A and B are shown apart, each in its own frame.
Chain A
Amino acid sequence: MTHFSKRSVLKLAALTTVAAAVLVGCGKKEEPKAAAPAPVAKAEPLKIAFAYVGPVGDGGWTFAHDNARKALEKEFGDKIVTSFVEKVPESADAERVIRDMAGQGNKLIFGTTFGYMEPMLKVAADFKDVKFEHATGYKQADNMRTYDSRTYEGAYMAGVIAGKMTKSNTLGVVASIPIPEVIRNINTFTLGAQSVNPKIKTRVVWVNEWFNPPKETEAATSLINGGADVLFQNTDSSAVLQTAEKMGKRAFGWDSDMTAYGPKAHLGSAIINWAPYYIKATQEALDGKWTGNSGIWWGVKEGAIDMVSVAADIPEETKKRVDEIRAGLKDGSFAIWKGPIVGQDGKEILAKDAVADDKFLSGVNFYVKGVDGKVPSGKK
């Protein structure tokens, strides 16, 4: 019967669409260099490649990485050549793309999302002379190391502002994928808000993707409908801020300065500056001092994290508080994850005056008191 064949075709069609979307998503781009070809006598420039999970125009996560790549070119001039591939899915395609980068003679490769961890590890085993840098992961090798930024420090400063600016005492978070980094950010955001306003409740909606603007929009809409008046997101686009702008609520920029996407709604942007690390890593590679099997976790202290473009209508005392936190994080006098910190069930997680170490922070898989709902069970 006809209707039967239509349905089976539908299924096939869905599969094919996915395949096609993946193919389309892998367009390769080589940045043309303005400089003339290098003089003959000079050494070969170091070839550096970047694999991005989103489009460089996402205005958030990938945009921040690409800005750092541009800063790198400015810093080293014709000593290096950079290229990037955007929208590399966190799947088997990632390995193909990264292998291709190594095959094309790139000697330093940056993979900028958690999901590239296994693919990079595999390729690293086959290309011993290539140096691999993996963002936000935890697996290392002789020629592969990890780097990450303490995004939760930005989340804390955002929380302080949100706690002051909310009228409904309900904050909303559009969350991406339930890994410790994201759960930690939700908690830290809530802790920041509670530090100025103990009545705060945080509601969380998971979209299970890093970059899907229509879904982020729907999630933000439902949070606002549920009574949240200040939104925060751990997704990669500006959709949440734009939704807040449309519905007359407030929100933050994340990863990059997003002021332009919602000038009325924008309270501040928690940004990541990857440039200092990219410059350091490149310098080490050029000097032959690069070593694998290590990892760094940079924050406000190293200039990797900041809260910028704070809105004019935020009270002076709150602005001052954010400045104090920034200064405290810089000189090490202030710790965000310092007890007493209580879990959802009221049990103490961190005793009074105990300070969480990095091992504790990288394993956060619970909500603190004040966050509604349960952590999705799909851990990592």
Chain B
Amino acid sequence: MRPQDEFVAARQPDWAELEQLLALGRGFRKLPPVSIARAATIYRAVSSDLMRAQAAGYSPDVIALLDGLAARAHNTLYSAPPYRMRAVWELVAADFPRTLRRHARFFALAVALFVLPGVLGFAGAMRSRAFALQILPAESVEQMEEAYAEGFGKGRKAGVNTFMTGFYVFHNVGIAFQCFATGVLFGLGSVFFLVYNGLTIGAVAGLVTAAGHGRNLLTFTCTHGAFELTAIVIAGTAGIVMGYALVDTRGRTRLGSLQARAREIVYLVVGAALMLLVAAGIEGFWSPSGLPDRVKWGGAIVAYLLVISYLTFAGRSGQARGEPQAEARP
């Protein structure tokens, strides 16, 4: 067996060469094929150097150097498949609606968890103001009653529209992501946020209607609601799907089951986020505009038809091709 110093002296030039190639970072991929092949060759040599060094009991610094070199070379040589812009389009055109349809039952459950508390909140707040105040903070109740009493017939400044759009993006998409992410706690977080949001929205609607401004509220919310409420429910669906993956593991470990379904889950959340961006634009500019009520109602009908037909029909052709590999059992 070779003494360590001799071994290091003999192998050092190769290590230095690999180090140099790796230092290029992303530039590495633009190297001529010869250099890449060379890097791969040294990487294999380094792996065997590493095993030799371990077997021979060389000192920790040599092992650490080789570990680091092998790890970085591996990370660089086996690069992840590049993410193409086309994949974004595919997500919108097919993957998102398809995945949602595949989880139609969970979607139905999420709708129920959102709508039933919503109806309850609405009915309760219609009947008693005290009930609504149990759910909503008093200041925001007064604020909302004022806002909807006035209506939006006059429209408002463009700057305010921009501000509110920003606010809706920040706030609503944040809620959707939270509604999803907390699903990792066996779905409980998602269930909670669906029920909570349903109850709150229902109570606001009930309160405003009881005060006699139901028409204003409906006119304001009808169009963006098509995107916004649907998206919140879809984010909740994604959370429940994630939580359920921890319960029904299909023979995998809990974590393995979760990871196997991760891709579909991402489709749902990203899809929901995109819908919320559309909703924020509408809510900031169209909903508070001075357009006549009839026009807004017409817009709402178009929006609902659009959302329903998109989620029902998009990506139907060629569906067989796109079945997820993640479903394959080990």
* A is bound by B: no
